[in-house]
A and B are shown apart, each in its own frame.
Chain A
Amino acid sequence: MFPTPIEKTSGKTQVAYKIALPIALLIWLLPLLAVALTSIRSAGDITAGNYWGWPTSFNFLENYTAIFENTPIGKYILNSFRVTIPTVIGAVALSCMTGFALAVYKFKANLIIFFMFVAGNFVPFQILMVPVRDLTLSLGLYNTVWGLALFHIAFQTGFCTLFMRNFIKAMPYELIEAARVEGVSEVRIFWYVVLPLMKPAIAALSVLVFTFIWNDYFWATVLTQGSDTQPITAGLNSLNGQWVAAWHLVSAGSIVAALPPVLMFFLMQKHFISGLTLGAVK
């Protein structure tokens, strides 16, 4: 192991390390901790400029009820789910199939199609912006959660295909050959042989896509407007404009917006990390 395991060092170093660890974490997360603390401050604290000291009173319930009662933040959150969940299902379903096709079959255009997905996944959003907005308008889906979700499904398919294809490629090919010898049809091989083995990949992609889409801001501003369709990221920005200097509310809103992906990450940590490394680092 590198660096030298701390157990093998002198007692002094060990103590120093154990002290340094929480301090480093505290500094690293300082901005977030301040936000969490501010989200429970009273309005009085904010006007008095008490941003970094201990709160004079804890207004957890007041502040969090206030943002849900006085702003459409509940709607924004709901919209986020309405965009994110179909996207996760759609992109994972499409890429299970494309990944399977590109990993299992040898045909001439294979590598070209694969590279098309990979390259498309890396392009700047701005080159797609004007045509995608036009397309969404002409489909009558502008300012709907479905218009946003459809685009996300298509775009995420690029990344998901890269991941799925590499994942299936690493499976033992003999499994598929054995099934073919038995006379199992290709569709059944996909459904009964390969798909059950893809569970870890499906889990990894689901959490990753969930986080990516939940945190998307750019497309939310391009394809939606107003609290009936906008997801939380865009909603938070417009609330920020309304809540001038009401930092305790901005903070509470930020915490609410950050919560779902954070929970997702903690529940599915292992899968999340295997997805992030693009399956390339093991």
Chain B
Amino acid sequence: MSTYWKKNQQKLAPWLFLAPGIFMFAVYVIIPIFQSVNISFYAWDGLGEAKYVGMRNYVEMIDDEAFFTSLKNNVIWLLLYMLAIPAGLFVALFLNQTVRGIRIYKSLFFFPFVISQVVVGLVFTWFYDPSFGILNILLMSIGFEPIAVLADEDFATYGIIAAGLWPQTAYCMILYLTGLNAVDPEQIEAARLDNAKGFKMLWYVILPQLKPATFIALVVTIIGALRSFDLISIMTAGGPWGSTRVLAFYMYEQAFSEYGFRMGYGAAIAVVLFAIMMVYIAGFLYKMYRDEKGS
């Protein structure tokens, strides 16, 4: 035994080290994905017998207005969340100085990302409050009618996204601040001698060097947008009249809430969301694969 171990330990050791991690990850992440796909072909209330219904859950989706509202909101989230990237870059450029106390400023600007989205949601609910929220105080002071942002079908989703952009911008800012640190000072000096400055300098000299930061910012922002759940649950619980639902939230409602324990239909919605995310995940893996082969 011990001679066998000595001879083969370089082959066996990796599996020994991997075993606990793979076991946990398989049980809680990999296998549940397949189980969810399987459940999506059943009608099931979570307790009784599950009944096989084939594609019926997916067919139901096509006529489900709430599903399309959620899907549409997911697209809006995805598009507007992208604003966090230029906004984060802007704040990072503003803070990339060496004046006294700048480190404290940088960490305080990063604050919103560290606190829970539950707190962010509560804070913004309050911010938008129609009778005393500061947004409406400001609106009224310049002569507008107050708006009940979160109670208005047309504004509610945008109001929640604005709340989400706050921590997300902070995240992108920190990525860019770290990236700006690594920008080659010689190239900047050379460009300055060539009279490049301002926006031109940013676009042609700085941004190309910030590519790794932009890539990570893009990945985390897309994932963040598609994962949006907490803020919606805290701020509107999907309302008014379901107008702020996204797929992640609608799925939860279908499977767990008073709307009925429809695990099968919920799972089918989750599969659709998973398929959308898979596009981005595959893209990320492809880039990682190319980098691995390159190095």
B24→A233 contact, CB < 8 A:
no
The proximity string for B residues 231-255 relative to A, scoring 1 for CB distances below 8 Å and 0 otherwise, is 0011000000000000110011001
Q: Is B22 part of the contact surface with A, judged by Cβ < 8 Å?
A: yes
Pick from B13, B123, B266, B285: contact of A105, CB under 8 Å: B13
B105→A280 contact, CB < 8 A:
no
Closest residue to B122 on the A side, CB-wise? A254
Q: Is B174 part of the contact surface with A, judged by Cβ < 8 Å?
A: yes
Closest residue to A14 on the B side, CB-wise? B99
Pick from B36, B202, B230: contact of A130, CB under 8 Å: B36
In chain A between 191 and 232, which residues have their CB closer than 8 angstroms to a CB of chain B? 211, 214-215, 217-218, 221-222, 232
Pick from A124, A257, A264: contact of B274, CB under 8 Å: A124
A2→B284 contact, CB < 8 A:
no
CA distance A120 to B70 in the complex (A): 24
Band of interface residues on B: 35 or more
User: Cβ of A105: which chain B residues have Cβ within 8 Å of it?
Assistant: 10, 13-14
B185→A129 contact, CB < 8 A:
no
The proximity string for A residues 238-269 relative to B, scoring 1 for CB distances below 8 Å and 0 otherwise, is 00100000010010001001100110111001
Q: Is A88 part of the contact surface with B, judged by Cβ < 8 Å?
A: no
A98→B18 contact, CB < 8 A:
yes
B115→A215 contact, CB < 8 A:
yes
Pick from B20, B35, B109, B123: contact of A131, CB under 8 Å: B35
User: Cβ of B110: which chain A residues have Cβ within 8 Å of it?
Assistant: 265
B281 shortest CB reach to chain A, Å: 5
Band of interface residues on A: 35 or more
Q: Is A79 part of the contact surface with B, judged by Cβ < 8 Å?
A: no
Interface of B, secondary structure class, is helix
In chain A between 23 and 43, which residues have their CB closer than 8 angstroms to a CB of chain B? 24-25, 28-32, 34-35
Pick from B117, B205, B226: contact of A124, CB under 8 Å: B226
Q: Is B111 part of the contact surface with A, judged by Cβ < 8 Å?
A: yes
A154→B25 contact, CB < 8 A:
yes
CA distance A167 to B78 in the complex (A): 31
Closest residue to A265 on the B side, CB-wise? B114
CA distance A18 to B97 in the complex (A): 11
User: Cβ of A124: which chain B residues have Cβ within 8 Å of it?
Assistant: 226-227, 248, 270, 273-274, 277
Q: Is A153 part of the contact surface with B, judged by Cβ < 8 Å?
A: yes
Pick from B17, B28, B114: contact of A151, CB under 8 Å: B28
Pick from B15, B29, B96, B252: contact of A128, CB under 8 Å: B29
B39→A266 contact, CB < 8 A:
no
Closest residue to A262 on the B side, CB-wise? B114
User: Cβ of A276: which chain B residues have Cβ within 8 Å of it?
Assistant: 171, 174-175
Q: Is A190 part of the contact surface with B, judged by Cβ < 8 Å?
A: yes
A120→B25 contact, CB < 8 A:
yes
A52→B96 contact, CB < 8 A:
no
User: Cβ of A49: which chain B residues have Cβ within 8 Å of it?
Assistant: 131-132
B10 shortest CB reach to chain A, Å: 7
With A1-B185, A105-B13, A185-B9 already in contact, the answer to whether A32 and B112 are too (CB < 8 A) is yes
Closest residue to B11 on the A side, CB-wise? A107
A2→B96 contact, CB < 8 A:
yes
Known: A17-B97, A24-B94, A132-B28. 8 other contacts (CB 8 A): A6-B99, A7-B99, A32-B111, A122-B277, A154-B25, A215-B117, A233-B116, A276-B174
Ordered by A's residue number, 14 sampled pairs between the chains whose C-beta atoms are within 8 Å are A21-B99, A97-B21, A102-B14, A120-B25, A124-B226, A127-B271, A129-B36, A135-B32, A158-B29, A250-B126, A254-B119, A277-B175, A281-B216, A282-B178
Task: List the 3 closest pairs (A to B, CB-CB), nearest first.
Answer: A154-B28, A131-B32, A98-B21
